[in-house]
Amino acid sequence: MSEMATISTFTGPISTVARRLAEKWSRQQATPEKSQQVLLNTLSVSFMNFYLECMGFETDLEGSDSWNPVQQTLMDVADLLIKNLGKLECRPVLGKAEYVYVPPEVQSNRIGYIVVEISESLQSAKLLGFVKEISIDNFPINQLQPLENLLDYLESLELQTTKDKSQNLGLSSQNVVKLKRWFENIFDSGWSTIESILLAEPAWQFRSAEEGLKQSVERAKLIDFGIKANRVAVGIVVKVSHDESDLDEMKIIVELHPTNGQEYLPSFLHIMILDEEEIAVMEAQAKNNNKKIDLEFNASIGDKFSVKIALEDISVVENFVV
């Protein structure tokens, strides 16, 4: 039964629309050889596009070199761009070919190669099989993998892409502290009142500097460097205030304070403010007897930044959007 279920090939009609377009493009070429090449490349790409759409994959014909008249003429190219995954090369063959020709210029920058047999009448096509990589110009057709391996492979690439995306999002959206919402009294988990995090510090010490600022909000969080750093912890305080003349501008103060009754910050504690490209735009380091480090900067609504706090080789990053 299992052999019966293998989708080793797929045969179907070539649409009239695809054939007309292929013939139109082929007529624009300078030589009969180039004309035939563009004709077959276009037919194989459009047939593969039809098949993948049936299988639920999103393609981007317009983004493919094979669909660009200039690239078609300059290169022997039959690529089909699959959204978020990459380019699949759709190499055409006629009749009972034993080898498929793969030009050197398309032997890289591809997620795979599919061989498409075009009927002599140009009325139908057959997908013969697939291979992930090709490094020779003439590839033996009997070494192709069955078509279902391509579908499994594309699905695994999709899963990987989704996973990578969600890991990146983990940094950029899930754990992003939305400072604008602080003004609506909506605080992210872990961010508490200054008094509750820095028990030893009377609250007025933090407020005096901010007396003149209207509409300011502040929150603190305990940053624990974990067992490797003997459970050393510091308190991070973030204060946000509206610029009185421009409500889209925010003044931001980031402070580090000792916790657990310690008088000073750990030596060599390093803090960096990173911009959206993760480039450090401000930094400071604790000396032997720092009771506090503070960094002050302005940001506009929508700006993203991160605060990276490092102790020896352990670092903690907090991501923010204004």
pTM flag (> 0.75): no
Q: Are 147 and 7 in contact (CB under 8 A)?
A: yes
pLDDT band at 199 (very low <50, low <70, confident <90, very high): low
Kindly tell me if the per-residue pLDDT of 5 is higher than 70.
no
Q: How far apart are CA 322 and CA 319, in angstroms?
A: 10
Predicted pLDDT at 174:
47
**Location of structure tokens 């008249």:** 69
Q: Helix, strand, or coil here: 43?
A: helix
How much is the average pLDDT of 137-163? 89
* pLDDT exceeds 90 at position 45: yes
Whether the predicted pLDDT of 19 surpasses 60: yes
pLDDT, one tens digit per residue, over 61-102 is 999 999 998 899 999 999 999 988 999 999 999 988 999 999
Placement of tokens 């194989």 in the chain: 44
Instruction: For residues 81 and 22, give the distance between their C-alpha atoms in angstroms, rounded to a whole number.
Output: 18
When pLDDT is averaged across residues 1-27 and rounded to a whole number, the result is 81
**Which of 115, 110, 117 is CA-nearest to residue 154?**
110
Identify the CA nearest to 194 among candidates 218, 225, 216: 218
Q: What's residue 227's pLDDT? A: 62
Least confident of 36-50, 113-127, 233-247: 233-247
pLDDT at 168 over 50: no
Inter-axis angle of helices 32-54 and 16-27, to 10 degrees?
150
Residues in the chain: 322
3-state DSSP assignment of residue 65: helix
**Residues paired with 238 in a beta bridge:** 219, 254
- Tokens representing 18 are 């695809």
* Closest to 36 in 3D by CA, of 51, 17, 23: 23
pLDDT at 3: 40
pLDDT at 240 over 60: yes
- pLDDT of residue 197 exceeding 80: no
**DSSP3 helix / strand / coil % (the chain, rounded to 5):** 30, 35, 35
Q: For residue 212, is pLDDT > 60?
A: no
